[in-house]
Every structure is written in structure tokens, then in C-alpha cells.
Amino acid sequence: MKTLSALVLGLFAVLPVGAQTLGTALESALARHPLALAAAPRAEAAEALAEAAASLTPRPLSASVATLHDKLGANRGRQEWELEINAPLWLPRQRDAHMALGASTRAEVRASQQALRLQLAGELREAWWAVASARNTEQLAQRRARTAANLETDVVRLFKVGELARVDANLATSERLDAQAALASAHSERLQAEEAFLTLSGMDAPEALTPESTAAPSHATPIAHPQVAADLAAAQLARDRMAVADATQREAPELALRMVRERGARGEGYASALAVKLTLPFSLGPRARQESATARAELAQAEGQVALQERRLLQETAKAKRELAVGQQQLQLARERLHLSTDTLVLAEKSFSLGESDLPALLRVRAAAQDAEVALQREEIALYAWQSRLNQSLGVLP
């Protein structure tokens, strides 16, 4: 019994967990995404950069020890010991530039993670409503297949008693075969949509795919959008890199403290000497110009990306609002069309049962009613999808 329980628990541990909301699916997708997995090491690197900028020297201190003797020559006991400690020095403005670079690196890591979260939310939103659309299509196909099978049964029965012609039986059978083919295609598309959602989120799509509420107008501030914030952080990072490049026109100077103890021959006492050395490297020349030009190019690109992103988001928001308004109108028209086609179908079925109309006429009316139902469901899902796209364009996370 214990073995069976353990086997069942192990099976459930292997099976994917079903997502309840878009939010839970988003957290699961983030836990699997390679860029999200790299967030902690990137944050650690940013902290290390900030710590290095806060240190007293741009590089660690170094020490060297040397000795000199005449054992291979006169061997009179000459001995010399030398100890040197080197301390690199910050150039003017260089330390402040590095500290600003450390802060902007931390900010860019945080902003890029929020942008990644929003990007995954957009992909999940599209996959969410793709599943809803595929499931709806399959449900309607199942209903059509059942209706076609029932119709075929009735028509074949009437054909056998001589009340309908063979051509009517053939039409009913053809309608059933078409419905079954459509059902098979819809079933495959539904499985494909659910697999795509599972691949993206690591979770099964829930049974009930609830719509999102439309974001309030207060969320429409462009600078609060995670993607814009990430681009602004990248621009600031490029700006600070340019400041570091401009402040580093030469290698760091070095201040060295040198201590020497020496004797001329055996029996003589050791004499000590202390020296201070300052090393001033020359300008880096072409290398400094290359680094500065590269930093300026990165800054120009980042600033251009901010402007481009703001324009794109404004266009996407305007489009989503237009499509949302159009979708509401089309949904109302689809409801009216379905009501009319349903009423017509009732009349057509009654007319067919009384022998006042033929089977092709009934099939045409039934197809129109099915198309109207499909259109209504399609417009509802499209409206919900555009609500999600509006939230996406405004930077609202699920």
C-alpha cells in the first residue's frame, strides 16, 4: 500500500501543474527562462562593481621582494634585500565615475528583469487566448458533429421508409463526414495551443480562461512602462560608461614605497634606506579614443531606442483602444446575428419536419446558424484578447 501511494505521489510530481491565473503562469515561466536564471549572477556582478568603485584604490595593492648577493662572484658576503609596495591611484573624476557606473549597473539589472517579466507576460497573454480560441473551436466542432450525426440518423431512417430520396441521405452523410473532419482538425489545433502554453509556462492551461480587467487610465504614463524604464536604465548605463571612458585617458598612476637593507661584506652592519616612487603613465592615445567613441555610440543608440520605444508604445496603445472599441461593436452585432439565425433555424427545422422544405435548404440555414455562433464566440475571445493587449501596451502585469 505504501509503495502504491509513493508511486502515485511520484507520478503527480512528474506531471505539470495546472496554472490558475496568468499571474501564476508568469511566475512559472520566469522560473524557467534563461535570462531570469541569469538575474542573480548579474546582480552579484553589479554589486561587485559597486564595491570595487568604493575602494580606496582602483586596483588592489601589490608587493614585490628582491634580493642581491655576490655568491657567484667574489663571495665577500655582500647582501641586499628590497621590499616594494605599490598602490594604484584614482585619476581625477575617475572614482566618482566608477561609483555612478556601479549604481546604474544595479538599476539596469533590476529594470531589465521587469522588462523581461512584461515580455513574458505578453507571450503568455497571446498563448492564453490562443488556447481559449482553440478550445472554443473544438467545442463548436463537437456540437456540429453531434448535430450532423443526429441528422444523418433521422434522414437515413426516413429514406429507408421511402419518405426521403437517396440524395438526401447522401447529403446528410456528407455533412457528418465534413463535421467529423472539422472536429479532428480542431482537436489537433487545441492540443497544439495547449502544448505551446505548457512549453512557455511549464504549467497546463486552466479549465477556465478568465479575462483580464482593462487597466485604469492612470497606468498610461509612458515612463512607468517597464520596457521604457529598461531603455532609460540602459541609456543611463551607457552615459556612465562614457563618463568612465572620458575619465580614464591614461592608466592609473602608482605610488610605491620602497625599503632597502644592504651590507657590503660579512661582518658589516646592515644599512637601511627608504624611497618613494611615483609612476605616471602616458596617455592611452588611440585606445582611449576608441573606448570613448564606443561609449558615445552606445549612448546614442540607447537614447534613440528610448524615443523609438515610446513612439511604438503610444501606437500600440492607440491601436488596442481602437480595436477594443470596434470589438465591442462587432460583439453586439454578432449577438444580434446569432439571435436572428437561431430563430431562422427553428423555423427551417419545423418546415423540414412538415415536408415544406428540402434538406439542402435546412443544411444551408443550419450552416448559417453555426457560422453565427462561431462568429459570436470568436468576437468574445477577440475582445478579451484586445483587453490583454491594451494592458500589455500600458505595461500592466497580470
Which one-letter DSSP state was computed for residue 68?
A: E
96 lies in some domain: yes
What's the pLDDT score for residue 19?
59
pLDDT of 131 higher than 90: yes
- Domain with 115, as residue range(s), is 27-56+90-249+284-312
Provide, rounded to the nearest whole percent, the portion of the chain with pLDDT above 90: 40
Query: Per-residue pLDDT averaged across 62-78, rounded?
Result: 83
162 sits in the region (left: phi over 0; alpha: psi -120 to 50; else beta) called left
Provide, rounded to the nearest whole percent, the portion of the chain with pLDDT above 70: 93
Burial of 233 (0-12, 13-18, 19+ CB in 10 A): buried
Length of the chain: 398
In 10 A of CB 201, how many CB atoms?
27
pLDDT tens digits for range 95-129 = 889 899 989 999 999 999 999 999 999 999 999 99
CA–CA distance, 291 with 243 (Å, rounded to integer): 11
167 lies in some domain: yes
269 lies in some domain: no
Q: Give the residue, 373 or 8, on which the prediction is more confident.
A: 373
**CA dihedral (66, 71, 72, 74) positive or negative:** positive
344 lies in some domain: no
CA angle in degrees (0–180, nearest 5) for 192-196-197: 120
What's the pLDDT score for residue 9?
34
Phi, psi of 239 (to 5 degrees): -65, -40
Which are the contacts of 349, defined by CB distance < 8 A and separation ≥ 6?
362
64 lies in some domain: no
Residues linked to residue 257 through DSSP beta bridges, in sequence order = 85, 276
Hey, is 326 helix, strand or coil? helix
Tell me the pLDDT band of 91, cut-offs 50, 70 and 90.
confident
Number of domains in the chain: 1
In 10 A of CB 83, how many CB atoms?
13
In 10 A of CB 322, how many CB atoms?
11
324 lies in some domain: no
Nearest to 102 by CA among 38, 59, 42, 53: 53
pLDDT of 174 higher than 80: yes
What's the pLDDT score for residue 204?
92
CATH code of the domain in which 184 resides: 1.20.1600.10
Note whether 207 and 81 are within 8 A (CB).
no
pLDDT of 14 higher than 60: no
Hey, is 181 helix, strand or coil? helix
The mean of the pLDDT values for the chain is: 85
The DSSP H or E segment spanning 103 is helix 94-160
371 lies in some domain: no
pLDDT of 38 higher than 90: no
Q: pTM of the entire structure? A: 0.77
Query: Per-residue pLDDT averaged across 17-45, rounded?
Result: 84
Tell me the pLDDT band of 371, cut-offs 50, 70 and 90.
confident
Query: Per-residue pLDDT averaged across 184-191, rounded?
Result: 96
Selection from 21-25, 186-190, 261-265 with the highest mean pLDDT = 186-190
21 lies in some domain: no
Residues linked to residue 86 through DSSP beta bridges, in sequence order = 62, 256
pLDDT of 6 higher than 50: no
First to last CA, the chain: 43
